[in-house]
Amino acid sequence: MSFKIKWVCAVLLTLGLCRDITGLDDQLKYHKNWKLLPGLSSCGKADVNERIVGGSSAKLGQYPWIASLLIKYRRQTEFVCGGTLVNENHVLTAAHCITSANFVRLGEHDWDTMIDCEGSRCAPVPADYRILNAVRHSGYRRSTHKHDIALIKLEGRVAYHRFVQPICLPQGRLLTSYRLNGTVTVAGWGISDRYSAHRTYTPVLQHVDLPVVSLEQCRDIFRSPIDEHQYCVGKKNKDSCNGDSGGPMMKSLANGRSRNYFLFGLVSYGLSDCGGGPAVYTNVPRYMKWILDKISC
């Protein structure tokens, strides 16, 4: 790349109009499918200002990339798993979520209302998109939970609006020198009260900030060979739970004068007693080449 092109891209990156591909090996840096992902000016932007077990209700439009995997048959709709919109055709989720789901819903917030409102501010009716196909990672094994990632292709293009937007996928230093630590955010409609006798899903989208902890903590808890393709996240009484599977584990990072949410993990598995300790998440940055290979126009 010439000095002039590097300078132009540096300026555009500062403005949020270019992807950071510095430091990547050639297979990633020159991958033809980067062009299918949104630039920093059009991903990971929440519609509200910055401001699950042990969590709280999210604000309307706070995570416009959150997706729900559904089984729709006759006049019934069954919620299966969570997912994350990454471009106008694709949703990332966990491999173990790819069973009989046939639709993805976008723009949902409260399952008990047809039109979601906060005060005078209302969102359009959520939209359901038929699943055209879904690709599991070829290395996924249910017995070990390894490579728990899948890419869903939707039928037709997603109609973006302020309540439906894609998240940013890791790029540049986030794939090379960046080390995820501190706290991350997980969102979903999973069980929010592990002591409830009914253990039903929550109708309103929940979110919770969780600490990233060492892989050794999860190895000690689950007695399994957890590796760098996974994250260990959470603590006692703060956790994802049944129904949150496949949903996003994300972090808001500064980008010039604004901020972007990046997808770092997918809810994979945890203790049967949710909130009893940290859980295991698929490490999305480790799968960026796989994602780029599988995304198609």
Which residues participate in catalysis according to the annotation? 96, 148, 245
**Largest pairwise CA distance in the chain:** 64
Work out the end-to-end distance of the chain between its first and last CA atoms, rounded to an integer number of angstroms.
26
Kindly tell me the sign of the dihedral angle through the C-alpha atoms of 202, 207, 244, 150: positive
Of 174, 263, 273, the closest CA to residue 222 belongs to: 273
Distance CA 54, CA 236 (A): 9
Parallel/antiparallel/unpaired status of strands 127-136 and 248-255: unpaired
Q: Which two tokens stand for residue 153?
A: 């292709």
Residues β-bridged to residue 187: 207
The DSSP code for 43 is S
Distance CA 93, CA 266 (A): 7
Name residue, tokens 């894609």: 166
Distance CA 227, CA 93 (A): 19
Distance CA 263, CA 251 (A): 7
The DSSP code for 194 is T
Of 268, 192, 281, 184, the closest CA to residue 237 belongs to: 192
3-state SS assignment for residue 173 = helix
Kindly tell me the sign of the dihedral angle through the C-alpha atoms of 186, 190, 194, 196: positive
Q: How far is CA 3 from the centre of its chain?
A: 35
